[in-house]
Amino acid sequence: MQVVNEMRKACGTSLTATLVRYVHMSSFAVAMVRSEGSVAKWAIPSNEFTAAIKRGRLDRNTFAADAAAARPVPGDLDHVPATAWLYDDAVIDGSRIYEASVPMPRYGAVLTFLYMPDQILRRRDEPDDDDLDPANSRSKGSIGRESVKASLRRTTGDASVLAMVRSDATD
């Protein structure tokens, strides 16, 4: 947050405007959250911040909740449980996310900067190896090589089609 604060001073802009610009231009997994009272109202993630940020009542494990309750918060980034800001099913158990929260009592708000380190999200975009194996008839969505051969025998007696399937199996 010190860097963002220095940028704010150098540019003569508000902290909110500086954070918005910083997040939009960042090549890191960062986000900005604005809370009013003890409720996260809106968030702006960078393109690299791919997890959904929780909205609604602030988790008690966030510095934003501390700031909203007028309790002291760290002056710079410090880690909190990732599930305090991100949905449980999206993160690896025990993961941490970095947070810096700044109270804005004049507005009854808290401005939060989040940094998500690599390797805290569960991977959902990679299928299991079994899902990719056409010979595995038990895998979801797979009919297996034997089922294909049986289906071809029923629908066509063409020996050339069966020969192609057999040659594919040996490749």
Report if pTM > 0.75: no
Pairwise CA distance, residues 141 & 132, whole Å: 10
SS3 143: coil
Strand order in the sheet with 96-104: 56-57, 39-45, 30-36, 109-115, 96-104, 78-81
Mean pLDDT over 12-27 rounds to: 91
Q: How do residues 33-74 score in pLDDT, each as one tens digit?
A: 999 999 999 999 999 999 999 999 999 999 999 999 999 999
Q: Where in the chain are the domains?
A: 2-115, 129-170
Give 49-109 as a DSSP string: --SPBP-EEPPTTSHHHHHHTT----SS-EEEEGGGTB-GGGB-TT-EEEEEEEEETTTTE
Q: What percent of the chain has pLDDT over 70?
A: 72
